[in-house]
A = this chain, B = another copy of it.
Amino acid sequence: MSKKYVYLFSEGNAAMKELLGGKGANLAEMTGLGMPVPMGFTVTTEACTRYYDDGKKIDPAIEAEIFEYVTKLEEISGKKFGDNENPMLMSVRSGARASMPGMMDTVLNLGLTDDAVEGLAKRTGNPRFAYDSYRRFIQMFSDVVMDVPKHSFETIIDEMKLAKGIKDDTKFDADDLKVMVSKFKAYFKEKKGFDFPQDPKSQLIESVTAVFRSWDNPRANFYRMQNNIPYDWGTAVNVQLMVFGNTGDNSGSGVAFSRDPATGENKLYGEFLLNAQGEDVVAGVRTAPRLEDGLKIAMPAVYDDFAKIAKKLENHYKNMQDMEFTVEDGKLYMLQTRFGKRTAAAALNIAVDLVNEGLIDKKEALLTLEPGQLDALLHPQFDEKALKAATPIGKGLNASPGAAYGKVVFTAEDAVEWVGRGETVILARMETTPEDIEGMHVSAGILTARGGMTSHAAVVARGMGCPCVAGCGEIVFGDKSFTLGGKTIKEGDYISINGATGNIYGEAIATVEAQIGGNFETVMKWADEFRRLKIRTNADTPADAAQAITFGAEGIGLTRTEHMFFEADRIGPMREMIVSTSIEQRKAALDKLLPMQRGDFEGIYEAMQGYPVTIRFLDPPLHEFLPHDDAAIKALAGEMGIAYDQLKNVIDGLHEFNPMMGFRGCRLAVRYPEIAAMQTQAVIEAAINVSAKHPEWDLVPEIMIPLPGEAKEFKFVKDVVVETADRIIKEKGSKIKYMVGTMMEIPRACLTADDIAKEAEFFSFGTNDLTQMTFGFSRDDAGNFLNYYYENKIYESDPFARLDQTGVGKLVETACKLGKQARPDIKLGVCGEHGGDPSSIEFFHKCGLDYVSCSPFRVPIARLAAAQAALRKD
């Protein structure tokens, strides 16, 4: 039996979303519920993928099947497609599996021709309506199918309004509209060189094709990437009998939500336009009044009908609905229903309300939420009013959410100085480096011209919860100034950035603080009931740790120990350590670092109040701690009291072609075991000291060795750790226990995880580096070419933001399996950026990880995502 590519609405239901798309499935469902839905049929998503597989052609068999269903509609409607007496008109609308509002294209009033419009006018006795419908058809068909932009037609309308001295398009009479149609047709011919098509059958097929084609247009591609919708899903096409909101003042079109999408309040929220088709409401050609002010007054019975249907749909779908409807000559028709998009605050309120109303249970409520949306609740936002008055001067990547304004400064040192004297600053840099940390910490926001979503600026800013717009390539830096969008911003000028949208403004825009309401807490508690994954945080400072605790973190999965070394009082001994020419010198420098590092760890243990803390040993290439330009090298040599040549030699010796694949991670500890010994001493002594004050916390330090690729390598460093730790524990007469584990971030480590697990007590997947090594590209460099990959659908999401389950995921699974074989009670976690990404969290749940660790501000998101993963799996 050959495959069926077309379904009548009466043949489908809501469960057939994959095949019929969201819109088609819901139209079928409403039809099944006996609601007033004009009949129609859906051309399936499979027909769309066939279209692309066949080289962008609709197979003749599918065309024939479509016309079979046109015939069925003719039987149902009693009208005839292409007829000049009683023409059957239809709408053609896209409808993908996932809702992609406004992303694809629609054609209304299809089936009209120069002759049919006359028949329609005659039959309805309403030539104004007939010509209004025809001019709409010409306009939409030209735009969507024929590549003649809509706005050219709008110019004609505007000119005619001006000539006639009217403002409202309903004031055009039938004759005006006839003239408009001929002007439209003339314009079309001028543009295209041929007459406007008069064959309804080809109009239909061309329109279906246009909808398929629209699946691949740039804004659809962009939307899909943003929302992780696979390209190969395709879109369905819904062909539906037209009902007309434009027959006169007893007709109209509206859109409505079953609850307020901004606040979640439980009341109908929508707009209705008399004598209009649906597009008018959406496009805002006239200002549509609220339902209560329009429909309810003009047609109270219709309003009641609609309110009942809205409630029925909400109860049926158990979620807030977003609906489109048309009233034709006083009769209500439903044209669409779908889950309503809502703000984060509304989403929480609706979820809690629906549970309180007894419509759904807590599990279902959790599944209605979009974890990523929570981000907006955790950061300051622009004051809405102030924002409306502002226009962005440019846009970068939305690298770390939150809104901020401040005076712009161009160096980390200036940031520190300006903030020191009470200013609020935004730090603008070409790109940030670890040396900028202190300045980043004090800034209200960070703006960079280079770097992607996982650049240094982005990663650090997210970790600190600091708003950041990264990689705005249009910025041209001058001398303590930059130019963007034609505006030159000098040091001290106010700018504002929105890290959630990437927008940059050349002025100060007031912000309002984040407000985490009671329903936020309620929902988080529900999530905690159901999730199996523990949620930890990546935090390097007591402040970050404390922040994460308030967000519900249950431990630290990653404390980096190198950021501490960039601070002013530490960089000195750190550099001494690096330029040491003997082990004695190196140890002397390390001895200076020891008390500072111990103090750091004590602070973190105190802040974490007994929750587990994983401390990662020194990881970055040593050259990051040294200057690279000659003047700075000379100055430092002077400061350190060593010869320029000696320092220059050390720096040259540390130069690497590919630092990412160079002398870093545990390779440092293999070369200089004394560094690992010092860090071990700091960790163990800190834990002993804090334990003395808080014996009830039962601290068990977790020491994490980064970047091994081989079991013997891990063991070599572990031996140093164990030897040092056991010695100190013995000396201090302590009974403290500790764990030694590793960060899995090298493909070979995953492939030999059984050997490593014989020695390592835990694995924490460092999926940032693992992604780099597995793909063989560095996140710093891939930005230059990955856009071409997205354009060509080779990759559909950023593998640094969303775990690549096919490749990198296979290594993670392999490592989990081998690790558990060798050590059944091995603790498994993840501490890469992916630990805060909902879809990746679902994957980690499936892999059987014990925890995910993410930046403090992602903790609530991770809690919710972990609950959803558990609920979806169960």
Contact = CB atoms under 8 A, between A and B. Distances in A.
Contacts of A658: 658-661, 778, 780-781
A122 to B, nearest CB: 54
A729 B659 CA distance: 46
Given A746-B775, A751-B774, A794-B710, A784 B661 contact: no
A710 B663 CA distance: 29
Nearest to A773: B776
Contacts of A789: 670, 713
Q: For the complex formed by this chain, how many copies does it contain in all? A: 2
B671 A788 contact: yes
Interface string A772-816: 111111101110110011001111000000001011101100000
B661 A752 contact: no
Nearest to A714: B794
A93 interface: no
Contacts of A657: 659-660, 778, 780-781
Contact of A795 (B710, B785, B807): B710
B794 A662 contact: no
A711 B242 CA distance: 44
Nearest to A806: B752
A782 to B, nearest CB: 8
Interface residues of A, number: 49
Contacts of A713: 789, 794
A718 to B, nearest CB: 12
A128 interface: no
A707 interface: yes
A806 B785 CA distance: 33
Contacts of A660: 657-658, 661
Contact of A772 (B661, B774, B792, B804): B661
Contacts of A710: 794-795, 807
A529 interface: no
Interface in A94-136: none
A812 to B, nearest CB: 11
A748 interface: yes
A223 interface: no
B659 A808 contact: no
A712 interface: yes
A702 interface: no
A383 interface: no
A808 to B, nearest CB: 7
Contacts of A259: none
Nearest to A780: B657
A747, A789, A804, A811 — most chain B CB neighbours (10 Å): A747
B784 A776 contact: no
Contacts of A396: none
Contact of A785 (B670, B747, B751, B807): B670
Contacts of A602: none
Given A658-B659, A660-B657, A788-B670, A745 B780 contact: no
Contacts of A778: 656-658, 661-662
A833 interface: no
A661 B777 contact: yes
A709 interface: yes
B662 A784 contact: yes
A804 B710 CA distance: 11
Interface in A616-675: 653, 656-663, 667, 670-671
A769 interface: yes
Contacts of A807: 709-710, 747-748, 751-752
B670 A776 contact: no
A184 B694 CA distance: 65
12 contacts: A656-B781, A658-B660, A658-B778, A658-B780, A662-B778, A663-B784, A670-B788, A707-B776, A747-B773, A747-B776, A747-B811, A773-B774
Given A662-B778, A671-B785, 15 more contacts: A657-B778, A661-B776, A661-B782, A662-B784, A663-B785, A709-B775, A710-B795, A710-B807, A712-B792, A712-B795, A746-B775, A747-B774, A751-B806, A751-B810, A773-B773
Closest 8 CB pairs of A and B: A748-B807, A662-B781, A661-B778, A746-B776, A658-B778, A658-B658, A658-B660, A656-B781
Interface of A: 653, 656-663, 667, 670-671, 707, 709-710, 712-713, 716, 745-748, 751-752, 769, 772-778, 780-782, 784-785, 788-789, 792-795, 804, 806-808, 810-811
